[in-house]
Amino acid sequence: MLVLTRRLGETIVIGDDIVIKIVDIHGKQIRVGIEAPTEVSVYRGEIYDRIMLENKAAAQAANNHASLAELKKLIASDEKAAPASSTPVGSNSRS
């Protein structure tokens, strides 16, 4: 990891079109400004990690077809017991 020391108002440039600027320092909190093109996503690290890990778990778990079949049955019986209003899920049906 590249570690740089910056003062308030100073910047870091990444590649040709990403700029990070130290906007404010207040006690233990540092406000960081980020300029990046729209095709580059910028996330708070801990939130990125949580969602990324859950995506990976879901993709991995998607192989578990026995459990998925069971889940569908449980959803159906759950809904018979207490029907919620559901918005129609329109999508292509392919054989």
Q: Which residues bind another protein (CB under 8 A)?
A: 38-39, 41, 43-44, 47-48, 50-59, 61-65, 67-68, 70-72, 74-76, 78-79, 82, 84-87, 89-95
In angstroms, give the least distance from the CB of 12 to another protein: 22
Angle, vertex CA 46, rays to CA 44 and CA 51, nearest 5: 95
Q: Which C-beta is closer to another protein: that of 5 or that of 38?
A: 38
Nearer to another protein, 5 or 86 (CB): 86
Query: In angstroms, how far is CA 59 from the centroid of its own chain?
Result: 14
Using the structure block, give the residue that is written with the tokens 């020391």: 5
| Tokens read off for 40 | 């580059």
